[in-house]
Amino acid sequence: MTILFNVYSTLRTPPAPAFSHQLVHRRDRTDPELQPHLNGFMGYVHEKSGGEMTAHLYHLLQHISRVQTQFSLEIEEDSLDAFFDWMKQVNGICFCTNGAVISPEGELLATPGDEEITGSVPYPADALARKASHDAYCRTLGVHVANSLPPVLGEGEAVLRSPKEVAERCVALLCVAARALALSQGERDNIEQIYARLPQAVSLLSAEEARFMSDSPPDKQDIINAVWRYEALAGLLWSLGKTEHLALPTDICDVDEVTNLILAGDTQSFIDSARLRPAAEILDALDLCYRLHWVVREAGQRGEEVPANLSASVVSERHYALNWLVCFEDAQWDEVDTPT
């Protein structure tokens, strides 16, 4: 007797099944039908979970949102053990013909019935290790992080922006932040000098950045927000290996140093020679920043002082930049979100 399963893997390049099976179909992010299908799957899971957002449901929905490959396959019952082993390898969850969603251990993650939910949403081993390490590190800082916070991406899941994209984004950010800094200090608008020194920037600005650069003058709050982009820029320059360490986000960056890292040489050469740090290092930085951002927001909600001398704005800008770098929710710069 054959059994039909639909498996949803978050890995960038999941291994093919090595056991006997009949592949009905396989689709990945290049298939325009995958995203609408995943949206429907998330709606189904939300409905069958009662509609109340719990930590378990959040983890499950996040898994579905990160799915990069869907397999639909038929297997014989005697291949079930091999099938579940393969599910672990691909960090997959499975939709069954009875409407249940199960984990790689065969435990329930969601069900149309009243059965008890016994399963846990899977995460890659490196992502879990990263979470455990940073939870422990946060304790040494004297800050508490909710254990329910999930890991960020594993290396096998991560799809990073290209080095060229990151370098170009750095140029755009410097353009915006430099104008904002001059205006915030009551200096003469330096937009002409900026464009003369960074001619590439005009074509690299996001829609919101282009609006800011064309406003004369920009709103006061827009100026303040744009000055803080130096912190996003500092994080991206670190990702390109332009600075050795990414310090704990307690102090603002050295604006002159950050600026000189781009302007010290030819800007086009800065873009063309860009190289990213290893994905593991970028994910380490993101995972820690994600947890620190939760700490900052939790303190704000409680009306308490932010612990460990963390700078809320530095944390926020760094998280924003790193989420963009790892293509979080496939968002472009102006639409990046930083949920915690």
The pTM of the full predicted model, rounded to 2 decimals, is 0.95
Q: What is the pLDDT of residue 50?
A: 86
Q: What is the pLDDT of residue 196?
A: 95
Across the chain, the runs of DSSP E, i.e. the strands, are 2-9, 22-28, 69-76, 92-96, 101-102, 108-110
Q: What is the pLDDT of residue 306?
A: 96
Tokens 């639409």 appear where? Answer: 335
- Tens of pLDDT along the chain (340 residues)? 899 999 999 999 999 999 999 999 999 999 999 999 999 999 999 999 988 899 999 999 999 999 999 999 999 999 999 999 999 999 999 999 999 999 999 999 999 999 999 999 999 999 999 999 999 999 999 999 999 999 999 999 999 999 999 999 999 999 999 999 999 999 999 999 999 999 999 999 999 999 999 998 899 999 999 999 999 999 999 999 999 999 999 999 999 999 999 999 999 999 999 999 999 999 999 999 999 999 999 999 999 999 999 999 999 999 999 999 999 999 999 999 999 9
Backbone torsions φ then ψ of 43, nearest 5 degrees: -65, -40
Per DSSP, 243 falls in state S
Q: Is the dihedral angle over the CA atoms 201, 165, 59, 57 positive or is it negative?
A: positive
